[in-house]
Homo-oligomer: A and B are copies of this chain.
Amino acid sequence: MTQPRYTARVQSLPATVPFVGPETQERAMGAPFRARIGANESVFGPSPLALEAISRAGADAWMYGDPEVHDLRQALARHHDVAPENIIVGEGIDGLLGYLVRLLVAEGDAVVTSDGAYPTFNYHVAGFGGVLHKVPYRDDREDLDALLAKAREVDAKLIYVANPDNPMGSWHSAEGMQAMIDALPEGCALALDEAYADTAPPQAIPPLDTSHPRVIRFRTFSKAYGLAGMRVGYGLAQQDFISAFAKIRNHFGMGRVAQAAALAALGDQAYLERTIDKIAAARETIAEIARANGLTPLPSATNFVTVDCGRDGDYARAVVAALAAEGVFVRMPFVAPQDRCIRVSCAPGEALALFSEALPRALKAAG
């Protein structure tokens, strides 16, 4: 009997995945990581109010979630001083990026990103047959001028930028980002991934203006809010842009408990503030540990610190592997020259103490 007739696009796709999960590594090692500081999760955890909401909403878990995600969108609208119609809530920014790419990118359409930026975005673009054009980072930051120039050159339908940036932790000023938005070529949309906006200096985030018809900004409950496991992200854009998602999204994709958890987390801004303070302190601790080992921590506006190991990608990969052997899960940039670095998530003292203890041995093992 024959196989199913997959589309030509699907037949052309590799069987790769954007990321291997730490659980896969743990199963291979036969032991759990002692410090899980590689996925930029918030090891500080979510607000106790979110935990309460999860428990409470469990009793309602027999009901599908509201497909309009009404209450959360209302609360987000108040929080950001926009209209609910400016907000699309989805299954994490990953899920929303998939929808966005599907809205815009048909076979052969040009898309621009930075070489070494978010692999899941690239995965979606390849998945819908888009042609990715990459520009290099400059001084460990995304090169906004080069992205714009490339977009004009290839007549891109979409540019992806993260500000602050993952995996480098770097950022642009609000003025710099706004200048990019103002210079966006006609016909080109901008996916501005602000997953790390909560931990950025305020002067890095341009005003939340939803009047541009082709700019969509993404935020998430997976980072500073500490709810990666609930899968709640959202996009902010002009109403027409947001409406387009309703043509293709999984309308009942947002779980009821996830919606309740995010709503409660959003309501506890005091907890978020305290977490952000802890993240800032942890950035300092990670930087000190790096320096004490002769490494160079890069400035960070995120909930992780990217640490320059001073040599090439092979060396950094060896450091990551040696840390994993010590029970410490970290990740690293995929692409040279950023892959001279490792990327360490902020975490409470115990986890960073394990990192501090393991790092000298890992550096030695890496040679």
Contact = CB atoms under 8 A, between A and B. Distances in A.
Interface of A: 1-10, 13-15, 17-21, 23-24, 27, 36, 39, 41-46, 50-51, 54-55, 57-68, 70, 91-92, 94-95, 98, 102-106, 109, 120, 127, 157-158, 186-187, 189, 212-214, 222, 226-231, 240-241, 243-244, 246-248, 250-258, 261
B187 A229 contact: no
B68 A21 contact: yes
Task: Count chain B CB atoms within 10 A of each CB in A61, A92, A214 and give the residue with the most.
Answer: A61
Given A55-B55, A67-B21, A240 B3 contact: yes
Contacts of A253: 91-92, 94-95, 231
A255 B258 contact: yes
Contact of A70 (B23, B57, B256): B23
**6 pairs of A and B residues whose beta carbons are closest in the complex:** A229-B256, A54-B58, A23-B66, A61-B229, A55-B55, A7-B106
Taking the full assembly, how many copies of this chain does it contain? 2
A9 B247 CA distance: 10
B251 A231 contact: no
Given A55-B58, A258-B255, A212 B1 contact: yes
A299 to B, nearest CB: 25
Given A6-B103, A10-B103, A98-B250, A24 B68 contact: yes
Nearest to A158: B4
B6 A104 contact: yes
A331 B58 CA distance: 25
B250 A229 contact: no
B91 A186 contact: no
A309 B231 CA distance: 42
A229 B64 contact: yes
B222 A70 contact: no
Contacts of A5: 104, 157, 187, 189
Contact of A61 (B60, B105, B158, B230): B230
B127 A248 contact: yes
A160 to B, nearest CB: 14
10 contacts: A1-B186, A5-B189, A17-B246, A21-B64, A24-B68, A41-B64, A54-B257, A61-B261, A65-B231, A231-B252
Contacts of A104: 4-7, 10
B60 A229 contact: yes
Given A127-B248, A228-B64, A247-B14, A2 B187 contact: yes
Contacts of A92: 250, 252-253
Task: Count chain B CB atoms within 10 A of each CB in A24, A64, A66, A120 and give the residue with the most.
Answer: A64
Given A4-B189, A104-B4, A127-B247, A257 B241 contact: no
Nearest to A2: B186
A55 B57 CA distance: 9
